Amino acid sequence: MAYGLLLGVLSAAALLLAAGADPGTRAAGLRLWALAGAAAFAVAPPNVLFPDPNVSMLQRLNWAPVRLLRYQARRLGPLVLLLAVPAVLVAYGDPNGPLRDLGTKTVALGQGLLLIGAAALDSFVHFATLGARSQAWHEGRAGQWYAQAVEEQGQGVSLPRGLVPALFATTRCFAVGVSVVVATAAAAANGLYALAWAPGCLLLGWAGLRLWRSRPAYDRHFYHTTAFYAEVLGGGTVAATDRAPVPYDALYWVPVRWRPAVWASVRQLDRRLPLGRLVAVAHLGLWLFCVRGVSPAFITTYLTLIFTGQVAACAVLGAPSAAPRPFQRALQSVGDWIGTRTFVNLRWFGPHVGSLALVVLFGTTYGWAWVGAWAAVHLGLSVAAATVVTLATEGSFRPAA
């Protein structure tokens, strides 16, 4: 349901933004969308694919390497769809003339989908085969230069060392994805329309070749990468982070009834996702857009994405490792878990409203009613996300016979 909601929001935003645009603007919009795709595929694969929750069952079935590869590629399918559907709508969503410039629109769409597909395949191959290197870093058998730099300079990212290769991979995949889009845009801007296909084709071919080479031993890649992520993110060997956990008293604004569960949930969420940093970066982006004077329609889409993404993060708390069903149900009722997760989501209500208030104070485009409306939207989304996640987890649990 959350997925459907996000797909609906993105599709609506695509239709809204592309309405009335000429083919050239649509092509530019598709390349911008491919940039968003590069960003998504630079971050999403390890979160979507690893550790695989079905690994024990897959071992019982003992699927062949190629079948494991197909299985994992399919798991990335919904993300590809999330980017492909809005792309189709950006290309063809033209109520004034759906059949006008059909050829030009189709070529632009093809190029956009090529860029999205190439970025997806490149990052899939890269992340799916990262297990051995990540484990070597985690156990101090590789990446000594990084450890030495951290020791000498006292600086480094606040991640378990084994996740540093994944961080580098994120940067690398994003850089490659952006380079390919920029090269495509440069070729198109200089009238080299045939050459504009080359960067996407090259990346797709290169990623395809790597995938083909790793195909016969994909069982090793799959089990190794899954084993590594199971080690570093769960399975009783969770690495501690250096972030200070939220103190109980800091949640004074939560009703007493739900405060203990909210406290435990927020601590778990903070250890899995740097949500505060993501929210801060998102609002920096908002201020930048407002300073640049982008259209209110764009800001509406942007805020919808930020708020939806933030509340959707409570799905992390629905994973079996964070919410063992019998334990959760023994602690509280389903209704109480909805209340708990609503307040987990509302943790960022204050910063959101504060950021919007700054936009109102330092600009002239928006007023206080705008802030109030978005506060109401956030409240509604918080309740909705909490309800969806809880119904899918504690709500679907049936006590053993």
Partner 1 sequence: MDDPLTLQALSKRYGDGPPVLSDLSRSFDPGTLTLLVGPNGAGKTTLLRLLAVQAYPTSGAVRYGEIDVHEEPYRYLQRVGLVHAGPALPEHLTAVELLEWILRSRGQWTDDEGPARIGSLLDRLRLDERRENLIGTYSSGMTQKAQVAAAFVAEPAVVLMDEPLRSLDTATTEATVDLLREFVADGGLAIVASHLTDALRPHADAVVRLGEESPVSA
Measured CA to CA, the distance from residue 232 to residue 238 in angstroms comes to 5
Measure the CA–CA gap between 345 and 66, rounded to whole angstroms: 40
Nearer residue to partner 1 within complex by CB, 134 or 355: 134
Stretch that binds partner 1, among 1-9, 159-167, 202-210, 336-344 (CB under 8 A): 159-167
- Compute the least distance from the CB of residue 64 to partner 1, in Å: 6
CB nearer partner 1, residue 157 or residue 297 = 157
Looking up tokens 């050239």 gives 24
- For position 227 contacting partner 1 by CB under 8 A, the verdict is yes
Cβ distance to partner 1 smaller for residue 190 or 237: 237
Q: Stretches 97-105, 189-197, 221-229, 305-313: which one binds partner 1 (CB under 8 A)? A: 221-229
Both tokens of 272, joined, read 């899995």
Count the Cβ atoms, other than its own, within 10 Å of residue 198: 14
Residue selected from 224, 283, 341, 352 as contacting partner 1 according to rule CB under 8 A:
224
The nearer residue to partner 1, 361 or 400, going by C-beta atoms, is 400
Lookup: tokens for 277: 């940093």
Q: How far is the CB of 309 from partner 1 (least distance, A)?
A: 29
Rounded CA separation 206/70 (Å): 19
Give the separation between CA 4 and CA 191, rounded to whole angstroms: 39
Tally of helices (H runs) and strands (E runs) in the chain: 18, 0
Report residue 287 as tokens: 């201020």
CA distance 223 to 236: 18
Nearest residue (CB) to partner 1, 61 versus 361? 61
Binder of partner 1 out of 70, 74, 141, 257 (CB under 8 A):
141
* Cβ neighbourhood burial of 317 (10 Å; 0-12, 13-18, 19+): buried
398 binds partner 1 (CB under 8 A): yes
For residues 44 and 233, which CB has a smaller minimum distance to partner 1 in the complex? 233
Q: Which is nearer to partner 1, 110 or 234 (CB)?
A: 234
Residue 391 found at the interface with partner 1 (CB under 8 A): no
x-marked contacts with partner 1 along 239-278 as a string, rule CB under 8 A:
x---------------------------------------
What is the per-residue DSSP string for 11-79?
HHHHHHHHTT--HHHHHHHHHHHHHHHHHHHHHHHHHHHSS-TTHHHHHHHT--HHHHHHHHHHHTHHH
Compare residues 68 and 180 and give the one whose CB is closer to partner 1: 68
Least Å distance between CB 54 and partner 1? Answer: 8
First-last CA distance in the chain: 29
To partner 1, the closest distance from the beta carbon of 372 in angstroms equals 44
Measured CA distances, 166 to 35, 123, 159, 260, 300 (Å): 20, 11, 10, 34, 32
The answer to whether 224 and 65 have CB atoms below 8 angstroms apart is: no
Among 192-200, 232-240, 311-319, 372-380, the segment contacting partner 1 (CB under 8 A): 232-240
Among 3, 15, 47, 63, binds partner 1 (CB under 8 A): 63
Sketch the per residue contact string, 84 through 103, with partner 1: x for CB under 8 A, - otherwise. Answer: --------------------
Among 237, 295, 333, 365, binds partner 1 (CB under 8 A): 237
* DSSP class per residue in 270-286: HHH--HHHHHHHHHHHH
Bond before 274 cis per omega within 30 degrees: no
Burial class (CB in 10 A: 0-12, 13-18, 19+), 352: buried
Pick one of 4, 61, 96, 242: the residue that binds partner 1 (CB under 8 A): 61
Number of residues that bind partner 1 (CB under 8 A): 36
135 in contact with partner 1 (CB under 8 A): yes
Question: Two tokens at 387?
Answer: 């309800």
Binding segment for partner 1 among 91-99, 137-145, 272-280, 334-342 (CB under 8 A)? Answer: 137-145
Cβ of residue 46: shortest distance to partner 1, in angstroms? 17
Binding stretches for partner 1 (CB under 8 A): 55-57, 59-65, 131-132, 135, 138-141, 160-162, 217, 219-220, 223-224, 226-228, 230-232, 237, 239, 398, 400-401
